[in-house]
Amino acid sequence: MRAGPGAAAALAILVAVVLQAAVLSRLPLPGGPPNLVLVLVIAIGLAGGGSAGLAAGFGAGLLTDVLSDHPVGVLALCFALAGFLAGLLDPDVRRSVLLSVVVVAVLTGAVYLIYLGVMGLLGRPVADGAAGVLGTIAYDVVLTPFVVPLVMAVTRRFAPARRGL
């Protein structure tokens, strides 16, 4: 990744984490909160490929970790995997907005499962169980058509010749 897209991704992640804490987590919605940071990570994976998704996921997860109460590294692991897997999908799949919605739904569910699994392994109490996950998946799906095309467009501006890779 060159400095331009890397810096843009870092800035976007920082903004997303702040919005997540200050706005999205506080919305009085039923179920779990929407997870803008995760949607962004998946979008970066879809737009920039496996390596970009991996790096963005690890960075975003780590930042969220140090600002949260759980052990540092848990979300870095979850988000890195999500970004990486999104980036490994075929370029045709990755460019379809409709399919990106499915990808976000599946990966959001997967991230929650891994998170709950790791917290279970560590013997940490986890409240509310999986009840909120469906809400989060639904909200993330709603965010996807806004976030993914935006990230795609920005990526294309940085690498016009390489056609979304």
Binding footprint of another protein on the chain (CB under 8 A)? 14, 17-23, 25-26, 28, 32-33, 35, 37-38, 50-51, 54, 58, 61-77, 80-81, 84, 88-90, 111-112, 115, 118-119, 122, 124-128, 132, 136
Cβ–Cβ < 8 Å for 75, 68: yes
What does DSSP assign to residue 73?
Answer: T
**Between 130 and 153, whose beta carbon lies closer to another protein?**
130
Minimum distance of another protein from residue 142's CB (angstroms): 16
**Between 23 and 157, whose beta carbon lies closer to another protein?**
23
- Helical axes 36-48 vs 50-67, angle rounded to 10°: 160
Select from 116, 113, 90 the least CA-distant residue to 103: 90
Cβ–Cβ < 8 Å for 9, 60: no
Q: Tell me which amino acid residue 9 is.
A: A
**Between 120 and 157, whose beta carbon lies closer to another protein?**
120
Minimum distance of another protein from residue 83's CB (angstroms): 10
Q: Tell me which amino acid residue 121 is.
A: L
Tell me the C-alpha distance between 41 and 164, whole Å.
Answer: 16
**Between 115 and 148, whose beta carbon lies closer to another protein?**
115
Place of tokens 């590294």: 73
Angle at 84 (CA atoms; ends 82, 86), nearest 5 degrees: 70
Minimum distance of another protein from residue 161's CB (angstroms): 20
Minimum distance of another protein from residue 89's CB (angstroms): 6
**Between 31 and 157, whose beta carbon lies closer to another protein?**
31
Minimum distance of another protein from residue 26's CB (angstroms): 5
